Structure 1
Amino acid sequence: MKRFALFGAAALFFCASSHPGFAQEKSCRQNNPVNTLEAMWDALGRCWQAPVGSKGMEVTVRFSLKRDGSLYGKPQITWLKKDGSERERKDFVASVFGALETVLPIPFTESMGKAVAGRPLTIRFSSRDPNEKTL
């Protein structure tokens, strides 16, 4: 059986500048069936906006999905950059979990559902400081 190492180690960086709040709207959900990893990562990040005052914050979340694209178990924070106050960190994490709640379930094709079902997925949400240099 071929292992999909990408699933366990995949990370996607969502870069956002500070926005006035973090609106999660149902309109940001994926409507067409997803058949690739790239489309899945795009769909997962579509509903997220960084909260005001979160520049420089990052959180990595590990979770699994079922064949139907719904959440399997509870997401776990595996890493949190300790910038900002406790309240700002809580708001940042709440924005991430709120976005996941809004976007899931992701409609998968049958083959994509079989490929990702039960595998650990890791995603990083990052609100970059606009003054931060990137390579």
Structure 2
Amino acid sequence: MTGGATVRRPTRLAVAASAVAIAFAAAFASAALAGAGLPLTPLASLRSTVQAPEGGIAASPADTLQELYPRLAACWEVPQGLAGFPRTEITARFALRRDGSVIGEPRITFSMQNADQRGRDILTRSTLDAIRRCTPVAITPALGAAIAGRPIALRFIYQGPQGQGV
């Protein structure tokens, strides 16, 4: 991204975007295009995975879902003690207000890691803490209006020490 201050995040991770949020944004965009008399095209995919950039996140407000997910993922780091495991995944579900703040309490809907109950608790706590640290997230009024109150599923994927990608 160009311009603005950046925040450095050393952990490489991928974030899978929620199909519900992407489908909603696509419907929102389609309605806007239809109102403008432009042709509509079907979605190529309702699923998207983005790589949180290592170089940092631009300080300007997110205007699209593709800009939003890396900003939300930027605060997550692999918890101490789990960094040596080969693959860790966790999905949190939550909703945002128009101003980018969280509505209610985020919920963990899925986790996969090679750890005991204590490890799962650490992973859950670190994920919920990351969402708290990254919110309110800076979003434009248009994106805020499009996603306010809609469920967002944010999946954090850590590939392990080798970071072999998704």
Fold equivalence (TM over 0.5)? yes
Alignment match of 2:150 (pick from 99, 119, 127)? 119
Q: How many residues align?
A: 120
Residues 1:86 and 2:104 are matched in the alignment:
no
CA contact (8 A) 1:29 1:47 kept: no
Q: Deviations over 1:103-133 (max 9, x none)?
A: 1001211101001101111011122234586
Q: Deviations over 1:55-108 (max 9, x none)?
A: 322111111000000001211111111521211111111111111111100121
Residues 1:32 and 2:43 are matched in the alignment:
no
Give the unaligned 5+ runs of structure 1. 16-27
Q: Deviations over 1:12-42 (max 9, x none)?
A: 5668xxxxxxxxxxxx887421101111001
CA contact (8 A) 1:60 1:125 kept: yes
More displaced stretch, 64-73 vs 78-87: 78-87
CA distance in 2, matches of 1:113, 1:30: 18
Greater relative contact order: 1 or 2 (C-alpha under 8 angstroms, separation 6 or more)? 1
Partner of 2:23: 5
CA distance in 2, matches of 1:97, 1:103: 10
Spell out structure 1 runs of 4+ moving beyond 6 A.
none
The one-letter code sitting in structure 1 at the alignment partner of 2:73 is G
How much is the aligned-residue C-alpha RMSD, in angstroms?
A: 2.8
Could you say what secondary structure the match of 1:107 adopts?
A: coil
Alignment match of 2:98 (pick from 67, 75, 87)? 67
Q: TM-score, normalised by structure 2?
A: 0.61
Deviation at 1:53, TM superposition (A): 2.8
Partner of 2:76: 48
Residues 1:101 and 2:132 are matched in the alignment:
yes
Give the unaligned 5+ runs of structure 2. 1-20, 26-45
CA distance in 1, matches of 2:164, 2:22: 33
